[in-house]
A and B are shown apart, each in its own frame.
Chain A
């Protein structure tokens, strides 16, 4: 009987601590109102963009982002055209809806690519140090020496303007940021005594890196990822605005800004609505990212 009760308490305890840690984390996150707002906006946008993507490709509502209607061109917001029409009479609301997945997709993919390359580079540099560190970090320094948009411009002009190339260009520009942050965290974690303890036990480098260092540097990586998606979206929009990114008639938000540039004085809504959407998305990511950082590291909070 006594053994049985002991076993049951053991089983309960087995799940408790980790769940408790996660609960604390979400409790801290929930307390942060602005982060919550950011989070809800992102969730909303996520589903809207899925709907937009389906609609754009399979025509659920029967609308088209490239259907021109020259009689209704440059019209302001109305019941028929919620966000008005552009210089070719295309419905801006539909274009924003259909372009959302491109904008978010470029941001996510570029950040993900940058993380895939930057995180291992940072860990290698930080963990092994010496000449490997010197080589990796000097290359990263060279990349960092270029202003991000200029680097992306150069890469796009070599590869040619397309959605995929823009993504690659932004990803390359972001690699050094990931590498730097990860290298710093790795250096700190590597010096901790539990890493020495596991080395004294004879663990192989792979085990030390994947089981002892990586899990303990995840929080800066996650925070940086969230915050970087916002930057990536901005860069993508910037490149498209310059005509080097996503090519018209694809309804990318940056390209739409460019479309409306010539009509700024007659029809400001053409630039206003895509611009507003970019601001909302970037703000949402930033608020959520800041909230994540605070929730991960309660010591930093005031």
Chain B
């Protein structure tokens, strides 16, 4: 099992200092990623999901050391990359690449496709100089671009095409791991499918491993082998795609999954609404970080932090959850204090929005 491991993240912490005061001293920290551990095996696609601000992109950036991690261990192919110096890290960088979310910001507007790809190969010196041109054309054809577009600038391409250039750039140095940071979120649905299929094809051809950072669960289900669910800088649940989708354990995962739209107007599935907003990562709640919004929360949740443990009795294997009551909720022994599906109704009643609009309508009629 361990020899198959490509990436191992252990107790990763990424705190960003908040400067303040006259001398710009550090007054506090944003705990963007707080004690996150997971592993990615060779050839696998692991998705990291969670709402915005939960630290999934930060995790990806920390793995590439685009931001220096505050604490923790990152092992790539058995080598500790956090302790590497600049030069060692520079060599290591051809092994792992990143594809960004925004196809408009991820390419230098002043460089043609040829220049962009050539530069990437030059930095890592992966292809001899005289063969680079052929390699560029080969790469472009691999990602579905035409060879006559080689000297075009980014602004002459559509969003989907730009994303393909970004993928070609990542591929140009022959990486083992590609981190897709919301790689398809900015694209139209039809283009999303094309790019996802391209990614899958590339994975088969080049034996790639993906860490897929996303918030679109439909996409995630389609592409990933395993899923890591994050909430407020922590992993709340991780497991095989099937286990997460068919037998979610954590109340947060359940709420997240219920937000997937079902393409059937007759199917009125029960949508779970969470109360309140995500707490600030500057001062996260004690105990279980989800307790402020969890209908199952007890006093224990407010004080004691749950560990990420195997609690699934149906789908055993690698399915871990960080919830004190996962088993009890599953068996129906632990009941919620309020119905999660009724939160919207309760809010409507409290706010009285419907009444006021009704009145306004009547006034308008008169």
Residue of A nearest to B97 (CB): A200
Q: Tell me the bound Cα distance from A204 to B90 in angstroms.
A: 9
Q: Tell me the bound Cα distance from A107 to B153 in angstroms.
A: 37
A193-B152 CB under 8 A given contacts A200-B97, A200-B98: no
Contact with B along A27-71 (1 / 0, CB 8 A): 000000000000000000000000000000000000000000000
Residue of B nearest to A192 (CB): B105
Residues of B within 8 A of A198 (CB): 108, 119, 123
Secondary structure class of chain A's binding surface, majority of residues: helix
A134-B100 CB under 8 A given contacts A6-B148, A197-B169, A200-B93: no
User: Is B156 in contact with chain A by the CB < 8 A criterion?
Assistant: yes
Q: Is the CB of B148 within 8 A of A196?
A: no
Q: Is the CB of A202 within 8 A of B66?
A: no
Residues of A within 8 A of B152 (CB): 13, 17
Q: Tell me the bound Cα distance from A215 to B108 in angstroms.
A: 10
Residues of A within 8 A of B148 (CB): 6, 9-10, 13
Q: Is the CB of B100 within 8 A of A201?
A: no
Residues of A within 8 A of B89 (CB): 202
Q: Is the CB of B110 within 8 A of A203?
A: no
Q: Is the CB of B93 within 8 A of A202?
A: yes
Residues of A within 8 A of B287 (CB): none
Interface hits, B95-149 → A, CB 8 Å: 96-98, 100-102, 105-110, 112, 119-120, 123-124, 147-148
User: Is A147 in contact with chain B by the CB < 8 A criterion?
Assistant: no
Q: Tell me the bound Cα distance from A203 to B173 in angstroms.
A: 13
Q: Is the CB of A194 within 8 A of B108?
A: yes
Q: Is the CB of B98 within 8 A of A197?
A: yes
Interface hits, A5-29 → B, CB 8 Å: 6, 9-10, 13-14, 16-18, 21
User: Is A216 in contact with chain B by the CB < 8 A criterion?
Assistant: yes
Q: Is the CB of A201 within 8 A of B108?
A: no
Secondary structure class of chain B's binding surface, majority of residues: loop
Say which size band chain A's interface belongs to: 20 to 34
Q: Indicate which residue in A9, A193, A215 contacts B100 across the interface (CB closer than 8 Å).
A: A193
Q: Is the CB of A17 within 8 A of B156?
A: yes
Interface hits, A179-195 → B, CB 8 Å: 192-194
Q: Tell me the bound Cα distance from A201 to B147 in angstroms.
A: 24
Q: Is the CB of A216 within 8 A of B123?
A: no
Residues of B within 8 A of A204 (CB): 90
- Of A196, A201, A211, A216, most B-chain CB atoms within 10 Å: A201
Q: Tell me the bound Cα distance from A200 to B169 in angstroms.
A: 11
Q: Indicate which residue in A16, A197, A199 contacts B166 across the interface (CB closer than 8 Å).
A: A197
Residue of B nearest to A6 (CB): B148
Q: Is the CB of B147 within 8 A of A6?
A: yes
Interface hits, B38-54 → A, CB 8 Å: none
Q: With both chains docked as a complex, state the minimum distance between the C-beta of A197 and any C-beta of chain B, in angstroms.
A: 6
Interface hits, A205-222 → B, CB 8 Å: 207, 211-212, 215-216
20 new A-B contacts, CB < 8 A, other than A194-B108, A216-B110, are A6-B148, A10-B150, A16-B151, A17-B152, A17-B153, A17-B156, A134-B24, A192-B105, A194-B105, A194-B107, A196-B66, A197-B106, A198-B108, A200-B97, A201-B94, A201-B97, A201-B120, A202-B89, A204-B90, A211-B119
Interface residues of A (CB under 8 A from B): 6, 9-10, 13-14, 16-18, 21, 134, 192-194, 196-204, 207, 211-212, 215-216
12 A-B pairs in the complex with CB atoms less than 8 angstroms apart: A17-B151, A17-B153, A196-B98, A197-B169, A198-B119, A200-B64, A201-B93, A201-B94, A201-B119, A202-B93, A211-B119, A216-B109
